Structure 1
């Protein structure tokens, strides 16, 4: 049942992204082009998503029974604005503005078979693996330097 609900949630998300136009890079780029052919419609999509999320969190999180398929909710615990968060956010925004895709919009667009979508998703996956390798190497170097100090 867990996989079925995951599939249904992903399907609803993908349909929402596709119907809203967030999987269309031209629409996304026009949203960011405030000095040119600005299309503010995605602001309403994002606002609607924030409203649904706000209400959903208020209704679901306080439930004493918790989540249906897990023991507890997996919520972020970090609250610090650091260079890693700000740099990653900036990189995400620049990439979204240049390519017209974000991961949430690109994944449903894979079904179109368009080369630009496939290239974006491939580059995104490479970026994920490279970032994980860099983080792991930094953590290993930090552990090794701590061991040598002790």
Structure 2
């Protein structure tokens, strides 16, 4: 189930991602990774997130904890797809910059919830690359707005 959910979020995010003429016309910082790297990076991140969700689900202390875990992962998936929609489809990196803060907080919330369950600390650690990647994406988003705004 966790793998299916991760695949669905990844698929929707990919559908929202258009690196056509508008994106190619943006001035990007010199330190931005090549476009081909983003697909493999997100694939690894979503695989870790799916594993985290499965481990967390198995080791949740009770039904209420499982429900909260499901809500947090669903919120995170929504915010992940929303960021791609705002940035790539609506061409609003400025709006995406505000939204990415909520995306980062949603990952942090998952990390903090899972680390509290002794048997799920591994699940929490599996989300740390995601947290770091979203922080990096936020920095890249900020620099893109700075180099290209106003939108």
So what's the TM-score if we normalise by structure 2? 0.31
Greater C-alpha radius of gyration: 1
Higher RCO by CA contacts (8 Å cutoff, separation 6 or greater): 2
Q: Which has the higher helix share?
A: 2
So what's the TM-score if we normalise by structure 1? 0.31
